[in-house]
Every structure is written in C-alpha cells, then in structure tokens.
Amino acid sequence: MRKTKALALAALGTTLSMGLAACGGTAGGGGNNTGSGNQGTGASGTAFNDAYTKLVNASDAKGGTLKFALTDEPDSTDPGNTYYAWNWNFSRLYARPLMTYQPAPGEEGLKLVPDLAEGPGQASEDGKTWTYKLKKGIKYDDGTEVKAADVKYAIARSNFTSELTDGPKYFAQYLDAEGYKGPYKDKNLDDFKGVETPDDYTVVFKLKAPFSEFDFLVANPQSAPVPQAKDTGLDYEKNVASTGPYKFESYEVGKQLTLVKNENWDPSTDTTRKQLPDRIEVQYKQNADDIDQRLLNGQIHVDLGGTGVQPAARAKIVGNPQLKNSSDNPYTPFNRYAMMSTKVKPFDNIECRKAVQYATDKVATQAPWGGPLGGDIGTTAMTPTTVGYKPFDLYPNGQDHKGDLAKAKESLTACGQPNGFETNIAVRGDRVKEVQVAEALQASLDRVGIKATIKKYPSGDWSSQYAGKPDFVHKNNLGIMIAGWGSDWPSGFGFLSQIVDGRFIKDSGNYNMMELDDPTVNELLDKGIQTTDTAARNEIWTQVDKKVMESAAFMSFVYEKTLLFRPSNLTNVYVHPAYGMYDYTWLGVKQQ
C-alpha cells in the first residue's frame, strides 16, 4: 500500500539527510504474470497500482524485442544534450553516469548508489572539491576501457559549448573553470581547469563554492563518459559510445531507434541494470491514442514519454476491472503548470499576471489530466513530493477552484487593462493533454476579456526553437507557455534551480520561461546549496518557492499523477520514484 504523502516526505527527508550511503536490496516482491501476452489485459496475481510499491511480473527470462513508442522525438539521444525526464531514464540503457539511483520502488529508489564510480564522492573540508574513483575494467561497446579523461571531456562538451543547448548547465554554473570556452573552441583538454584527472581512474571536480548535493548532480547523464576522438558534435547522438547494457544498431532521427545488446557490458560492474531483451525498438512521431490502443492490445510494451494514457484509454481502463488491475496511478515528480513571460506585454505588469491566476478555472485545467486521478490541484511551484514543500495559496480562486472573476477584474483594472487584452498560449502540439489544458485556460480567460490564441509547436524542438528561445517568445508574443517540470533530483534545489534561477536564462534551451531574474531568488538558491544542515536547507527551498509565486508568473495546474498501463507481456515492471515512470533498464518481454 502506498505511503501517505506525509510519510513519503518524512522518509525522503531521512534519505537525503543520510547522504549517499549505498543501500542493499533491489526492486522486490510481486508474483509471476500468467496472463495472455496478446490480450494486454489484467494478469493474474496483479492489482491496480501494484507496480508503484513492488516488482510486477518478475522474470529473468532473456530474449525478444522490447517495443517503445513516442508521440514526438527526443530533444537528443546524446546523454549530454537532453533534458526530458523520460530520456534521462531511457538513456541509462546505453550511458552510465558516475552515480545513479537504487533500482527499487518507493523511497528506497531515491537513494544514490555508485555507477561508474566506486563509491560516493569524497568532499574536501571546504566542500569545494569532490573526488571520484572510477571502477576499473568498464568498457565501451567497441571494447576500449573507460578512462577518467572521458568523464572530464563529457562535462566539458555538455556544459561549455554553445552547440549543445538542450541539457542543463549546472557544471558550467558551479565549476571553477576560469573562463573555459569548451572543447569545440579549445581542443586542449588541459585548459579545462574545472575538472582534473590525476590518473586514469580519478576524477576531481573543482567548485567555485560548496555544493552540498553534488552526488545528485553527477547522477545526471552528463557525467556519462565520451571519448574525445569519437565526439562528432551534434551528430554524436546518431551513434553514442555505449557503456550500458545496450548499444546503437540504427537510428533514423525523428523516425526510429534500435538498440541491441552490448557484448562488452559487464554486469559485475553494474548492479542497477538488466540485459534481458535481445533488441529494443523505439518508434517516434506516433499518434497518442494509437499508442494507447497498441498498449492495450499488447502490440507495444511502453509509452516512452511516461506521461500516462489519454482520456479515451483512461475511460476504458478505469471502467474495466481487468484492465485496471494492469495499470498504475503513481505520483510523479512533476508539476504541470503555465509560465507567463515577464518580458512579453502586458505580462511585464504583475497585475496582469495576477488576473490570469485568479481567472483560471483549476478544475477545468485539471480535467485533461484525468481529474483527481491525474493529480491534485496545484498552488505552488514545488510539489508535495519535493523535500522542502510547504502548502500555501497566494491566489485563491474560489472555494470550488473554478476562478474568482471579481478578483481577476480588479487585477485587470490595476494593470490598466480593465476590458482585458490579447495574448498567445504556446503548447506542445503533440501533447494531447497539454493542448486540452490550453483550451481550458483559453475558455477561463475569455470570461474576463482576455482573448488568448493557442499556438502549437513540436515537443522535439520545444526548448531549443520555440518556448525555450526568448527571441522567438518575444517576436511571437507568447505570453503564456504550458509546461511541466520534474525534479532533477529529489530536493527543492533539484526541482527549482533550472526553472527559476535568472542566471540560467539561455538564448536557446531555456526552461526559465518566465525570464524571472530576481536577485533574492538567486541568492537564496546559492545560500541553500551551500547549507549542509538538511532542515535549514529545506526551509530555504520553501522561501524560494514563495518568492517565485509572489511574482505571479508561475501558475500550477496539477501535482501530477499518471495512469500507466502495463501489458501482460511486459516483465519486471515497477515505478521508479526518481523518474515517476517505469524503470526502463529492468524491463523484459514474455516470449510467445
């Protein structure tokens, strides 16, 4: 049975205060699934939400083809140039970072364990130097050994080049790199002072200031090694050097990706992944409802995006006990929200932003996610599953959450737009739920004279070319952007920093779509990440949340839950709490 949110938070707080001690155990429990593979319906011995708390359909059987489908395409398959949560999960099939998460459901899955590294980082007394020792004998798919210089190069290319724009830039922000311009401009890696490699198996990170959660940072895919000689820039995504259990066989950008077993992967060095299927096939640019139907029929095994089924399939599943017993309704790390650009008129006026907050019918914007099944109505930036969260509501929109139109009109008058105004709502056009949210928001705002036009853009280039490109946002009057965010790691900093820190506003690949650059917010983030006391640090994250919400540029719709479907021919299924979706590195397929 799932723990209550209060208990989950308490457990997670304990996990973080424990630091990075490696804990034993793996995803456990669950009986065998004996249902018919082609039916895709409820397997005997499984129940609704089972995979949220235990391993379902456990099996070590090898062989077969694991099939994924996605409505669009990834920002990049390059581990150093991606920022979608599902891709951080999926890329672990072929890319191993220094640290990773325990393979287990529940709070155990939020604990860090070594991956490429022998153990957690060793911090210096001043907290500004972190040292990792690599396991010896880890090889790429071509048989060459992973060396410390490859990790250094991976950090250099992902964070210090202007070409790779889609991933986060934490390392560029916090490493003491002395103005380094990246390996595409300066090929002498010795000039990169932010990371040192005194020998082939030692990686030393040199920081500008203490960073109390650095082990979480190196669990992101950007610390997966890249041999400098094999880096082909933006084309590297077409044939990534694999350290995981699978390697690239073929990749047609925007169409399909096929992975096959990496014969040079050594499971003795990797306790967090399995290598069960012979092949893994991914189809991109697939219709969302078609994906659901194929899942229900057992023709594919996983919706790669991990955002849950669409309304039509949800109705079928909830209304059929057998189908429902093959589904899971987990909380995810995600908040689904809108950001208002503080640089697009009239949203440069806070009162115009407040008018949107008050006018929005939160019940209507919750509905596309599945009503209460899709998540709780949100009022803060951080979610209840984020350490540091405290509930508050600065813009109450009526007891029924359907909008306070009187307060909205007061704010419109205060911002000099008593009759309303025109704006555009940007949305990822292939995300059916997000489009429906935009339509619900459009109808809400129309009630007070705010005329909003919906603009649809592809999710594959969403951050690099559209909503994450400030010049495009300004030129196209994108006042409101529908978005979602999950924690980079399970703390307030891991959730907030990339979307609220003004120093992370980028020309492309920008996730602070509010373009909020509040010195108080920036200073609190710095203070928090340098604070070693867990309780004090968590209180600072609450302060950041309140400051962000005071800007009225961030409007939460739901603290997300999803409805995931697991066909009966899918084995080793559990929800990994670090990603809020199934652990893609454990899955297998039942042979027919």
45-79 tens-digit pLDDT = 789 999 999 999 999 999 999 999 999 999 999 99
**DSSP strand E in 407-549: where?**
422-428, 451-457, 480-486
pLDDT at 15: 35
Express each pLDDT in 508-566 by its tens digit: 999 999 999 999 999 999 999 999 888 999 999 999 999 999 999 999 999 999 999 99
pLDDT at 385: 80
Q: Which of 18-22, 84-88, 529-533, 534-538 has the lowest mean pLDDT?
A: 18-22
Crossing angle for the helix pair 534-550 and 519-529, to the nearest 10 degrees: 170
Position 40 pLDDT exceeds 50: no
pLDDT at 490: 85
> What is d(CA 356, CA 479) in angstroms, rounded to the nearest whole number?
11
Express each pLDDT in 300-322 by its tens digit: 999 999 989 998 999 999 999 99
Query: Are the C-beta atoms of residues 469 and 507 closer than 8 Å to each other?
Result: yes
Position 291 pLDDT exceeds 70: yes
Position 154 pLDDT exceeds 50: yes
**DSSP strand E in 451-548: where?**
451-457, 480-486
Express each pLDDT in 281-290 by its tens digit: 999 999 999 9
> What is d(CA 554, CA 378) in angstroms, rounded to the nearest whole number?
11
Residue 33 has what DSSP assignment? -
Residue of 484, 500, 492, 488 whose CA lies nearest to 336: 484
pLDDT at 36: 32
For the record, the structure tokens of 196 come out as: 């040192």
User: 263-300 burial by CB neighbour count: b if 16+ within 10 A, else e?
Assistant: ebbeeebbebbbbbbebbbbbbebebeebbbbbbebbb
Position 362 pLDDT exceeds 60: yes
Query: In 319-469, where does DSSP find H-type helix?
Result: 321-324, 350-359, 362-366, 405-414, 432-446, 462-465
Query: Are the C-beta atoms of residues 120 and 188 closer than 8 Å to each other?
Result: no
Crossing angle for the helix pair 350-359 and 432-446, to the nearest 10 degrees: 100
Q: What is the DSSP annotation of 188-229?
A: -GGG-TTEEEEETTEEEEEBSS--TTHHHHTTSGGGS---GG
Is the previous residue joined to 490 through a cis bond, with omega within 30 degrees of 0? Answer: no
> What is d(CA 283, CA 254) in angstroms, rounded to the nearest whole number?
9
Position 587 pLDDT exceeds 50: yes
Rounded to the nearest 10 degrees, how much is the dihedral formed by the CA atoms of 533, 535, 536, 542?
A: 140
For the record, the structure tokens of 297 come out as: 């029929």
**DSSP strand E in 240-347: where?**
246-252, 256-261, 279-283, 302-303, 327-328, 331-340
Q: Which residues on neighbouring strands pair with residue 101, listed in sequence order?
A: 112
Confidence category of residue 493, pLDDT binned at 50, 70, 90: very high
pLDDT at 557: 98
For the record, the structure tokens of 521 come out as: 């917010």
Give how far the C-alpha of residue 513 lies from the chain's centroid of Cα atoms, to the nearest Å.
16
pLDDT at 7: 29
Mean residue pLDDT across the chain:
91
CB-based contacts of 480: which residues, under 8 Å, 6+ apart?
338, 339, 340, 341, 347, 356, 423, 424, 425, 426, 441, 452
For the record, the structure tokens of 19 come out as: 């630091």
CB-based contacts of 200: which residues, under 8 Å, 6+ apart?
134, 147, 148, 149
For the record, the structure tokens of 123 come out as: 């911090």
For the record, the structure tokens of 86 come out as: 């599902």
Confidence category of residue 592, pLDDT binned at 50, 70, 90: low
- In this structure, is the dihedral angle defined by the CA atoms of residues 537, 509, 375 and 479, taken in order, positive or negative? positive
> What is d(CA 324, CA 322) in angstroms, rounded to the nearest whole number?
5
> What is d(CA 2, CA 53) in angstroms, rounded to the nearest whole number?
6
For the record, the structure tokens of 206 come out as: 């040199």
Average pLDDT over residues 324-346: 95
Position 14 pLDDT exceeds 70: no
- Characterize the bridge pairing of strands 112-114 and 99-101: antiparallel
> What is d(CA 239, CA 260) in angstroms, rounded to the nearest whole number?
13
Express each pLDDT in 259-282 by its tens digit: 999 999 999 999 999 999 999 999
Residue 308's Cβ-count burial label (10 Å; 0-12, 13-18, 19+) is buried
Other CB atoms within 10 Å distance of the CB of residue 19 = 14
Express each pLDDT in 104-145 by its tens digit: 999 899 899 999 999 999 999 999 999 999 999 999 999 999
Residue of 57, 29, 47, 52 whose CA lies nearest to 105: 52
Residue of 495, 468, 265, 469 whose CA lies nearest to 378: 495
Could you tell me which residue, 311 or 226, shows the higher pLDDT? 226
Distance in angstroms between the alpha carbons of the first and the last residue of the chain: 32
pLDDT at 260: 98
Complete edge-to-edge strand list for the sheet that includes strand 302-303: 246-252, 256-261, 279-283, 65-69, 302-303
Query: Are the C-beta atoms of residues 272 and 103 closer than 8 Å to each other?
Result: yes
Provide, rounded to the nearest whole percent, the portion of the chain with pLDDT above 70.
92
3-state helix, strand, coil in the chain (%, to 5): 30, 20, 50
Could you tell me which residue, 531 or 9, shows the higher pLDDT? 531
pLDDT at 388: 86
Other CB atoms within 10 Å distance of the CB of residue 543 = 17
